[in-house]
Protein backbone atom coordinates (compact mmCIF):
# COMPACT_ATOMS: atom_id res chain seq x y z
CA UNK A 1 0.00 0.00 0.00
CA UNK A 2 1.33 3.42 -0.95
CA UNK A 3 1.04 6.36 1.43
CA UNK A 4 1.69 10.05 0.72
CA UNK A 5 3.95 11.75 3.30
CA UNK A 6 1.25 14.33 4.05
CA UNK A 7 -1.15 11.56 5.11
CA UNK A 8 1.01 10.36 8.01
CA UNK A 9 -1.04 11.78 10.89
CA UNK A 10 -4.30 10.41 9.50
CA UNK A 11 -2.58 7.08 8.97
CA UNK A 12 -1.28 6.92 12.54
CA UNK A 13 -4.77 7.61 13.90
CA UNK A 14 -5.82 4.32 12.32
CA UNK A 15 -2.88 2.49 13.93
CA UNK A 16 0.68 1.48 13.10
CA UNK A 17 1.39 -1.17 10.48
CA UNK A 18 4.13 -3.75 10.89
CA UNK A 19 6.17 -2.87 7.77
CA UNK A 20 7.13 0.47 6.21
CA UNK A 21 9.36 1.14 3.21
CA UNK A 22 10.62 4.73 2.83
CA UNK A 23 12.39 5.77 -0.37
CA UNK A 24 13.10 8.94 -2.31
CA UNK A 25 15.16 12.04 -2.99
CA UNK A 26 14.91 13.97 0.25
CA UNK A 27 16.80 12.54 3.26
CA UNK A 28 15.38 15.26 5.53
CA UNK A 29 11.75 14.38 4.80
CA UNK A 30 12.49 10.67 5.07
CA UNK A 31 14.26 11.19 8.40
CA UNK A 32 11.40 13.27 9.84
CA UNK A 33 8.84 10.70 8.71
CA UNK A 34 10.86 7.87 10.27
CA UNK A 35 11.27 9.87 13.50
CA UNK A 36 7.50 10.28 13.73
CA UNK A 37 6.99 6.54 13.19
CA UNK A 38 9.56 5.72 15.87
CA UNK A 39 7.95 8.11 18.36
CA UNK A 40 4.52 6.60 17.72
CA UNK A 41 5.98 3.11 18.11
CA UNK A 42 7.70 3.95 21.40
CA UNK A 43 4.40 5.21 22.70
CA UNK A 44 2.94 1.80 21.92
CA UNK A 45 5.62 -0.19 23.70
CA UNK A 46 8.24 -0.75 21.00
CA UNK A 47 11.15 -0.21 23.37
CA UNK A 48 13.93 -2.07 21.56
CA UNK A 49 15.54 -0.89 18.32
CA UNK A 50 18.02 -2.64 16.03
CA UNK A 51 19.62 -1.01 12.97
CA UNK A 52 21.16 -2.95 10.06
CA UNK A 53 23.05 -1.04 7.35
CA UNK A 54 23.55 -3.06 4.17
CA UNK A 55 27.06 -2.45 2.88
CA UNK A 56 28.77 -4.33 0.10
CA UNK A 57 27.83 -7.34 -1.98
CA UNK A 58 28.80 -9.79 0.79
CA UNK A 59 26.52 -8.43 3.51
CA UNK A 60 25.26 -11.17 5.83
CA UNK A 61 21.47 -11.11 5.70
CA UNK A 62 21.13 -14.00 8.12
CA UNK A 63 21.57 -11.62 11.05
CA UNK A 64 18.74 -9.43 9.76
CA UNK A 65 16.46 -12.44 9.36
CA UNK A 66 17.35 -13.72 12.84
CA UNK A 67 16.72 -10.37 14.55
CA UNK A 68 13.10 -10.42 13.44
CA UNK A 69 12.45 -13.54 15.43
CA UNK A 70 14.21 -12.66 18.66
CA UNK A 71 13.40 -10.27 21.49
CA UNK A 72 15.49 -9.41 24.52
CA UNK A 73 14.31 -10.24 28.02
CA UNK A 74 13.50 -6.57 28.61
CA UNK A 75 11.29 -5.83 25.60
CA UNK A 76 7.91 -7.03 24.38
CA UNK A 77 8.10 -5.20 21.08
CA UNK A 78 10.95 -4.11 18.83
CA UNK A 79 11.80 -1.84 15.89
CA UNK A 80 14.06 -3.26 13.18
CA UNK A 81 15.54 -0.81 10.67
CA UNK A 82 17.10 -2.02 7.44
CA UNK A 83 19.04 0.67 5.63
CA UNK A 84 20.14 0.04 2.03
CA UNK A 85 22.07 3.21 1.00
CA UNK A 86 22.77 1.90 -2.51
CA UNK A 87 19.17 0.87 -3.15
CA UNK A 88 20.53 -2.48 -4.40
CA UNK A 89 20.11 -5.30 -1.87
CA UNK A 90 21.62 -7.92 -4.18
CA UNK A 91 20.43 -11.45 -4.82
CA UNK A 92 20.55 -12.61 -1.19
CA UNK A 93 18.99 -9.36 -0.02
CA UNK A 94 16.18 -9.67 -2.51
CA UNK A 95 15.26 -13.09 -1.13
CA UNK A 96 15.62 -11.90 2.47
CA UNK A 97 13.45 -8.82 1.96
CA UNK A 98 10.71 -10.93 0.41
CA UNK A 99 10.81 -13.23 3.43
CA UNK A 100 10.74 -10.26 5.81
CA UNK A 101 7.77 -8.78 3.96
CA UNK A 102 5.80 -12.03 4.04
CA UNK A 103 6.37 -12.76 7.71
CA UNK A 104 5.47 -9.19 8.74
CA UNK A 105 1.82 -10.10 8.31
CA UNK A 106 0.14 -10.52 11.67
CA UNK A 107 3.36 -9.78 13.59
CA UNK A 108 2.39 -7.25 16.26
CA UNK A 109 5.69 -7.53 18.12
CA UNK A 110 7.99 -6.17 15.36
CA UNK A 111 7.90 -2.92 13.43
CA UNK A 112 10.19 -3.09 10.38
CA UNK A 113 11.44 0.05 8.61
CA UNK A 114 13.24 -0.32 5.27
CA UNK A 115 15.06 2.89 4.30
CA UNK A 116 16.11 3.37 0.67
CA UNK A 117 17.35 6.18 -1.57
CA UNK A 118 15.64 7.21 -4.78
CA UNK A 119 14.86 4.14 -6.89
CA UNK A 120 14.62 3.89 -10.65
CA UNK A 121 11.55 2.42 -12.31
CA UNK A 122 13.25 -0.91 -12.99
CA UNK A 123 14.10 -1.38 -9.32
CA UNK A 124 10.54 -0.61 -8.19
CA UNK A 125 9.33 -3.36 -10.52
CA UNK A 126 11.59 -5.95 -8.87
CA UNK A 127 10.22 -8.84 -6.83
CA UNK A 128 11.69 -7.66 -3.53
CA UNK A 129 10.25 -4.15 -3.79
CA UNK A 130 6.95 -5.56 -4.98
CA UNK A 131 6.79 -7.74 -1.86
CA UNK A 132 7.52 -4.77 0.42
CA UNK A 133 4.83 -2.72 -1.30
CA UNK A 134 2.31 -5.55 -1.32
CA UNK A 135 2.68 -6.64 2.31
CA UNK A 136 3.52 -3.27 3.86
CA UNK A 137 3.18 0.49 3.51
CA UNK A 138 5.37 2.30 0.98
CA UNK A 139 6.15 6.02 1.16
CA UNK A 140 7.95 7.92 -1.59
CA UNK A 141 9.66 11.25 -0.89
CA UNK A 142 9.99 13.45 -3.96
CA UNK A 143 12.35 16.39 -4.08
CA UNK A 144 10.83 19.79 -3.33
CA UNK A 145 10.52 21.55 -6.67
CA UNK A 146 12.16 24.98 -6.88
CA UNK A 147 8.78 26.57 -7.61
CA UNK A 148 7.39 25.13 -4.38
CA UNK A 149 10.44 25.86 -2.22
CA UNK A 150 9.37 29.38 -1.05
CA UNK A 151 6.02 28.01 0.14
CA UNK A 152 7.79 25.14 1.93
CA UNK A 153 10.09 27.63 3.68
CA UNK A 154 7.12 29.79 4.70
CA UNK A 155 5.34 26.73 6.12
CA UNK A 156 8.41 25.71 8.14
CA UNK A 157 8.84 29.25 9.47
CA UNK A 158 5.18 29.27 10.52
CA UNK A 159 5.67 26.04 12.45
CA UNK A 160 8.20 27.81 14.68
CA UNK A 161 6.07 30.95 15.06
CA UNK A 162 7.71 33.09 12.37
CA UNK A 163 6.63 34.59 9.08
CA UNK A 164 7.80 37.05 6.47
CA UNK A 165 6.19 40.40 5.73
CA UNK A 166 3.03 40.31 3.63
CA UNK A 167 2.96 41.23 -0.04
CA UNK A 168 5.85 41.82 -2.39
CA UNK A 169 8.45 42.28 0.37
CA UNK A 170 7.67 38.87 1.84
CA UNK A 171 7.76 37.18 -1.56
CA UNK A 172 11.14 38.78 -2.24
CA UNK A 173 12.41 37.48 1.11
CA UNK A 174 11.20 33.93 0.41
CA UNK A 175 12.68 33.95 -3.10
CA UNK A 176 16.02 35.12 -1.72
CA UNK A 177 15.90 32.38 0.93
CA UNK A 178 15.08 29.75 -1.72
CA UNK A 179 17.97 30.91 -3.92
CA UNK A 180 20.36 30.45 -1.00
CA UNK A 181 19.27 26.90 -0.13
CA UNK A 182 18.09 25.42 -3.46
CA UNK A 183 18.92 21.75 -3.83
CA UNK A 184 19.95 21.35 -0.19
CA UNK A 185 16.82 20.79 1.89
CA UNK A 186 18.67 19.60 4.98
CA UNK A 187 20.68 22.83 5.04
CA UNK A 188 17.47 24.79 4.45
CA UNK A 189 16.00 23.14 7.53
CA UNK A 190 19.08 24.11 9.54
CA UNK A 191 18.93 27.72 8.34
CA UNK A 192 15.25 27.91 9.33
CA UNK A 193 16.09 26.59 12.79
CA UNK A 194 18.87 29.19 13.06
CA UNK A 195 16.37 31.96 12.35
CA UNK A 196 14.23 30.55 15.15
CA UNK A 197 17.14 30.92 17.56
CA UNK A 198 18.19 34.37 16.35
CA UNK A 199 14.71 35.91 16.23
CA UNK A 200 12.46 33.87 18.54
CA UNK A 201 8.74 34.51 18.41
CA UNK A 202 7.08 36.10 21.44
CA UNK A 203 3.64 37.20 22.55
CA UNK A 204 4.08 40.31 20.41
CA UNK A 205 2.95 39.20 16.94
CA UNK A 206 5.08 41.84 15.21
CA UNK A 207 8.28 40.30 16.55
CA UNK A 208 7.55 37.10 14.60
CA UNK A 209 7.80 38.91 11.25
CA UNK A 210 11.20 38.45 9.62
CA UNK A 211 12.51 41.31 7.51
CA UNK A 212 14.50 40.85 4.31
CA UNK A 213 17.61 42.25 6.03
CA UNK A 214 17.32 39.73 8.87
CA UNK A 215 17.09 36.82 6.45
CA UNK A 216 19.84 38.16 4.21
CA UNK A 217 22.21 38.58 7.15
CA UNK A 218 21.46 35.18 8.70
CA UNK A 219 20.99 32.67 5.88
CA UNK A 220 24.17 31.19 4.43
CA UNK A 221 24.55 30.39 0.76
CA UNK A 222 24.29 26.59 0.98
CA UNK A 223 22.62 25.90 -2.38
CA UNK A 224 23.59 22.74 -4.23
CA UNK A 225 22.93 22.55 -7.93
CA UNK A 226 22.08 19.59 -10.10
CA UNK A 227 23.03 19.38 -13.79
CA UNK A 228 19.62 18.01 -14.65
CA UNK A 229 17.84 20.80 -12.75
CA UNK A 230 19.98 23.21 -14.78
CA UNK A 231 18.46 21.66 -17.89
CA UNK A 232 14.93 22.39 -16.64
CA UNK A 233 15.86 25.99 -15.81
CA UNK A 234 17.31 26.55 -19.31
CA UNK A 235 14.25 25.10 -21.03
CA UNK A 236 12.07 27.22 -18.75
CA UNK A 237 13.84 30.39 -19.87
CA UNK A 238 14.89 31.26 -16.30
CA UNK A 239 17.93 33.33 -17.24
CA UNK A 240 18.98 34.63 -13.82
CA UNK A 241 18.61 31.20 -12.21
CA UNK A 242 20.58 29.58 -15.05
CA UNK A 243 23.49 31.95 -14.52
CA UNK A 244 23.42 31.32 -10.76
CA UNK A 245 23.32 27.55 -11.26
CA UNK A 246 26.23 27.55 -13.71
CA UNK A 247 28.30 29.65 -11.29
CA UNK A 248 27.37 27.22 -8.50
CA UNK A 249 28.25 24.13 -10.55
CA UNK A 250 31.59 25.66 -11.45
CA UNK A 251 32.39 26.48 -7.81
CA UNK A 252 31.41 22.94 -6.78
CA UNK A 253 33.91 21.49 -9.26
CA UNK A 254 31.38 19.93 -11.61
CA UNK A 255 32.72 18.58 -14.90
CA UNK A 256 32.42 20.98 -17.84
CA UNK A 257 31.93 17.97 -20.11
CA UNK A 258 28.91 16.77 -18.10
CA UNK A 259 27.30 20.21 -18.11
CA UNK A 260 27.85 20.46 -21.86
CA UNK A 261 26.37 17.00 -22.38
CA UNK A 262 23.19 18.03 -20.53
CA UNK A 263 22.78 21.20 -22.59
CA UNK A 264 23.65 19.53 -25.89
CA UNK A 265 21.37 16.56 -25.25
CA UNK A 266 18.41 18.89 -24.75
CA UNK A 267 19.20 20.65 -28.04
CA UNK A 268 19.47 17.30 -29.83
CA UNK A 269 16.20 16.14 -28.24
CA UNK A 270 14.43 19.31 -29.37
CA UNK A 271 15.67 18.68 -32.91
CA UNK A 272 14.66 15.00 -32.90
CA UNK A 273 11.17 15.71 -31.58
CA UNK A 274 10.74 18.60 -34.04
CA UNK A 275 11.74 16.35 -36.95
CA UNK A 276 9.37 13.62 -35.77
CA UNK A 277 6.46 16.07 -35.58
CA UNK A 278 7.21 17.38 -39.06
CA UNK A 279 7.26 13.77 -40.28
CA UNK A 280 3.67 13.39 -39.07
CA UNK A 281 4.09 12.08 -35.54
CA UNK A 282 1.72 13.52 -32.91
CA UNK A 283 3.68 15.46 -30.31
CA UNK A 284 2.86 13.10 -27.38
CA UNK A 285 4.12 10.13 -29.41
CA UNK A 286 7.25 12.00 -30.55
CA UNK A 287 8.05 12.94 -26.94
CA UNK A 288 7.60 9.38 -25.68
CA UNK A 289 9.74 7.93 -28.47
CA UNK A 290 12.54 10.32 -27.54
CA UNK A 291 12.24 9.57 -23.82
CA UNK A 292 11.04 13.05 -22.89
CA UNK A 293 8.63 13.02 -19.95
CA UNK A 294 7.79 14.65 -16.64
CA UNK A 295 8.72 18.31 -16.25
CA UNK A 296 10.66 18.32 -19.52
CA UNK A 297 7.65 17.04 -21.43
CA UNK A 298 5.65 20.12 -20.44
CA UNK A 299 8.57 22.42 -21.26
CA UNK A 300 9.05 20.84 -24.69
CA UNK A 301 5.33 21.22 -25.43
CA UNK A 302 5.58 24.95 -24.71
CA UNK A 303 8.74 25.84 -26.60
CA UNK A 304 8.79 23.51 -29.63
CA UNK A 305 6.00 25.16 -31.65
CA UNK A 306 7.86 28.49 -31.52
CA UNK A 307 11.39 27.31 -32.31
CA UNK A 308 12.18 27.09 -36.02
CA UNK A 309 14.45 24.72 -37.92
CA UNK A 310 17.08 27.40 -38.52
CA UNK A 311 17.25 28.23 -34.83
CA UNK A 312 17.70 24.57 -33.88
CA UNK A 313 20.40 24.15 -36.54
CA UNK A 314 22.25 27.16 -35.14
CA UNK A 315 21.97 25.81 -31.59
CA UNK A 316 23.31 22.42 -32.70
CA UNK A 317 26.24 24.12 -34.43
CA UNK A 318 26.96 26.15 -31.28
CA UNK A 319 26.80 23.00 -29.12
CA UNK A 320 29.31 21.33 -31.46
CA UNK A 321 31.71 24.25 -31.03
CA UNK A 322 31.39 24.23 -27.24
CA UNK A 323 32.03 20.48 -27.25
CA UNK A 324 35.46 21.24 -28.65
CA UNK A 325 36.09 24.11 -26.23
CA UNK A 326 35.41 22.05 -23.08
CA UNK A 327 37.82 19.45 -24.48
CA UNK A 328 40.60 22.01 -24.92
CA UNK A 329 40.13 23.20 -28.50
CA UNK A 330 39.80 26.83 -29.56
CA UNK A 331 36.94 28.12 -31.67
CA UNK A 332 36.85 31.44 -33.56
CA UNK A 333 34.56 34.06 -32.04
CA UNK A 334 34.01 31.95 -28.91
CA UNK A 335 35.63 32.34 -25.46
CA UNK A 336 38.50 29.96 -24.80
CA UNK A 337 37.34 29.29 -21.24
CA UNK A 338 34.99 26.32 -21.04
CA UNK A 339 32.67 27.79 -18.41
CA UNK A 340 32.33 31.07 -20.30
CA UNK A 341 31.46 29.07 -23.43
CA UNK A 342 28.87 27.09 -21.47
CA UNK A 343 27.38 30.33 -20.16
CA UNK A 344 27.05 31.58 -23.72
CA UNK A 345 25.50 28.34 -25.02
CA UNK A 346 23.06 28.18 -22.12
CA UNK A 347 22.16 31.81 -22.72
CA UNK A 348 21.40 31.11 -26.38
CA UNK A 349 19.06 28.24 -25.54
CA UNK A 350 17.53 30.10 -22.61
CA UNK A 351 16.78 33.16 -24.74
CA UNK A 352 14.91 31.08 -27.31
CA UNK A 353 12.93 29.26 -24.63
CA UNK A 354 12.16 32.50 -22.80
CA UNK A 355 10.84 34.07 -25.99
CA UNK A 356 8.46 31.17 -26.60
CA UNK A 357 7.73 30.00 -23.08
CA UNK A 358 6.76 32.64 -20.52
CA UNK A 359 6.84 31.18 -17.02
CA UNK A 360 6.28 32.52 -13.48
CA UNK A 361 9.33 34.07 -11.90
CA UNK A 362 11.28 34.08 -15.17
CA UNK A 363 13.55 37.01 -15.88
CA UNK A 364 12.70 38.80 -19.11
CA UNK A 365 16.27 39.05 -20.35
CA UNK A 366 18.71 36.36 -21.50
CA UNK A 367 21.90 35.45 -19.71
CA UNK A 368 24.58 38.04 -20.37
CA UNK A 369 28.20 37.45 -19.54
CA UNK A 370 31.13 39.59 -20.54
CA UNK A 371 33.88 37.50 -22.05
CA UNK A 372 37.41 38.48 -22.79
Q: Outline where the chain has alpha helix (H).
A: 8-13, 27-43, 62-67, 90-103, 121-124, 127-135, 149-159, 167-181, 185-198, 212-218, 227-235, 239-251, 256-278, 283-289, 295-303, 309-326, 338-356
pLDDT band at 121 (very low <50, low <70, confident <90, very high): confident
In a domain, 370, yes or no: no
Residues 135 and 150 in one domain: no
In a domain, 29, yes or no: yes
Q: In the predicted model, is pLDDT for residue 205 greater than 60? A: no
In a domain, 362, yes or no: no
Q: How many domains, the chain?
A: 3
Q: Give the tens place of pLDDT for each residue, 276-298.
A: 999 999 999 999 899 888 788 88
pLDDT given for residue 41 in this prediction: 93
Residues 261 and 322 in one domain: yes
In a domain, 108, yes or no: yes
Domain extent for 137:
2-141
Domain C-terminal end among 123, 141, 159: 141
Q: In the predicted model, is pLDDT for residue 368 greater than 60? A: no
Residues 137 and 10 in one domain: yes
pLDDT band at 55 (very low <50, low <70, confident <90, very high): confident
Residues 162 and 42 in one domain: no
In a domain, 9, yes or no: yes
Residues 7 and 131 in one domain: yes
pLDDT band at 82 (very low <50, low <70, confident <90, very high): very high
Residues 103 and 204 in one domain: no
CATH number at residue 196: 1.10.8.60
CATH number at residue 240: 1.20.272.10
Q: Give the tens place of pLDDT for each residue, 7-20.
A: 998 999 898 999 99
Amino acid sequence: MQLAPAQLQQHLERGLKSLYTLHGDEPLLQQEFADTLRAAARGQGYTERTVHTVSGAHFDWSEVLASGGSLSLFADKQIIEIRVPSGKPGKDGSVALQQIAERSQGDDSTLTLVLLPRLDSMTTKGAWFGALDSFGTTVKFDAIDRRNLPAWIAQRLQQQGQRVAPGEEGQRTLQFFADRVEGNLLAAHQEIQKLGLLYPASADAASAVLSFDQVENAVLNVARYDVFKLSEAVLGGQAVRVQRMLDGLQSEGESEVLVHWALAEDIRSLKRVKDAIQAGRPMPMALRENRVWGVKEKLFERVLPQIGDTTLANLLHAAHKVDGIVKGLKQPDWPADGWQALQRLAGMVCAQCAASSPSPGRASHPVKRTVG
